[in-house]
A and B are shown apart, each in its own frame.
Chain A
Amino acid sequence: MFKKTGKFLIFFFTQFGQATEMIKEAFFWFIKTPLEVNQTLQQIVKIGVESVPVILMTGLFVGMVLALQAGNTMQNILSEPLYIGLLVSFSLVRELGPVLTAFVISGRAGAAVTAEIGTMKVTEQIDALSTLGTNAIRYLVIPRLIAFTISIPILTIFADIMGIFGGFIVSVEGLGVPSSTYTNDITTYLGVDDLIHGLIKATVFAFTIGVICCYKGLNTRGGAEGVGKATTGAVVVSMVMILVIDYFLTAILHAFGV
């Protein structure tokens, strides 16, 4: 038991150290060499633009179910569906928007990134980059890190807006809340600091997913099977890390009053 835990900790910290090394290298090459603009734009399309539909759907239904739950609970406690706009918008903007967007993107785009880089690794394309005067960090990692970090906060805003809209439909059409009550809840209570809180989270999640998925891809070993393992590994680790970071980041942001 202890031995196993110890082994796991060693494994975890080795990987953590190597991933940190990768981040350092990424910053180094980012400063020292011109950006691969085409690659970066392509990745923004793949990771960000192509994820818009699924993010809109996610946002919409999360907003709807939040309104439904909040409405029913308030009905039971206060015999009236009060504060639905407040509850929906707060949970979305501060918490669920960033977390769910990050989840969906790590499953959709993060997996693809690991699979692609992993395949390039096992077929020696990563080595080929080095022999042709560039390297994996410059050509693959930096464009993807940038694409994740730009895309996820923007997608989070989309999810927030769709969710608030979904909550509106359910409240007004399903629970009979006057539309002005719902919107007043939001305009009165929701502030810029809530939006900032959510966007800081989204940005941190984005960078984390990017690092994990690129790192897992670059360290793939053992053919097609290895690529499969790396890919599932990347998604699982990303999701767990998002939740862990979410807790600590929330605590830190609260301490700073955001």
Chain B
Amino acid sequence: MIKIENLQKHFGPKHILNGVNLEIKDGEVTTIIGGSGTGKSTLIKCIIRLLEPDGGKILFEGKDITHLNNEFELAKLRKNFGYLFQEGALFDSLTVGENVTFGLKYLTDTPKSEYAKIAKEKLALVGLKDIENLRPSELSGGMKKRVSLARVLATNPKVILYDEPTSGLDPIMSEIISQLILDLKKKLGVTSIVITHDMKSAFEISDTLAMLYEGKVQLAASKEEFKRTQNPYVKQFIEGSANGPIQMKISN
């Protein structure tokens, strides 16, 4: 279980996270929704400790990891996680195959002879085949995203953090990825934290939804509660209405 208490994070004078409270239960899919720039990516980067929080607490399996700073301890912590980057973050100097199997060398004892098989298998899971020898620069945006997901899946992490897994994918591919997230939960008991703007997918896969707004979680609840809620922020957001308490600032 991951427990986040009163989490604070600012960049310079900008307070991005300002008292986030959230509990992520094992084997569940927790979805984080919220407007662009509200700090969703920042939040999950704090969980995997790519960022160090400025205040509050993060507990992972009961252990306080908020200010873990020893690189060895951090590496050990990160072994539990897979992280799908919003923009993919594929290594452009390596081939697709090398990208997918990159973590095996550092996170597992898998013999090298099995790398090719694993690459093929994980790419198949995300609907790709015969692209192992291409470079990331030769792929489309959606393909990059899926290769990146295959790279996350390769090491069989316990907890997967997905930063917009379906953005940039066509509706059918989005559905396939949503099903994949559910499959991982059912078959392997993977805990998932998913950031998404895709409300259809969010309602389909989530056990718990959490909405981030103005540095806080406005509501964290099951999807039934989420649909019924009278919380005006949440209502406006899931209805996608321009009128309501959330005023998007449009510059110019």
Contact = CB atoms under 8 A, between A and B. Distances in A.
Interface of A: 25, 28-29, 116, 119-120, 123-125, 127-128, 130-135
B91 A125 contact: yes
A116 B83 CA distance: 22
B87 interface: yes
Interface stretch (B99-107, B190-198, B200-208, B228-236): B99-107
18 contacts: A29-B71, A123-B89, A124-B85, A124-B87, A125-B89, A127-B85, A127-B89, A128-B90, A130-B50, A130-B74, A130-B75, A131-B50, A131-B81, A131-B82, A132-B106, A132-B155, A133-B78, A133-B105
A133 B85 CA distance: 15
B89 A133 contact: no
Interface size class of B (residues with CB under 8 A): 20 to 34
B160 to A, nearest CB: 11
Nearest to A39: B93
Interface of B: 45, 48, 50, 71, 74-75, 78-79, 81-83, 85-87, 89-93, 102-103, 105-107, 151, 155
Nearest to B93: A116
A124 to B, nearest CB: 4
A127 B71 contact: no
B106 A133 contact: yes
A133 B93 CA distance: 18
A123 B87 CA distance: 7
A57 B105 CA distance: 42
A47 to B, nearest CB: 15
Contacts of A124: 85-87, 89
B86 to A, nearest CB: 8
Most buried by B among A123, A125, A128, A130: A128
Nearest to B148: A128
Contacts of A130: 50, 74-75, 78
Given A123-B87, A130-B50, 7 more contacts: A116-B93, A125-B90, A127-B50, A131-B103, A132-B155, A133-B105, A134-B106
B85 A132 contact: no
Contacts of B86: 124
A194 to B, nearest CB: 40
B43 to A, nearest CB: 15
A186 B84 CA distance: 62
Nearest to B72: A32
A132 B87 contact: no
> What 8 pairs between A and B have smallest CB-CB spacing?
A133-B106, A132-B103, A133-B107, A124-B89, A128-B89, A131-B83, A134-B106, A127-B50
B91 A128 contact: yes
A131 B107 CA distance: 10
Contacts of A120: 91
Contacts of B71: 25, 28-29, 135
Contacts of B78: 130-131, 133
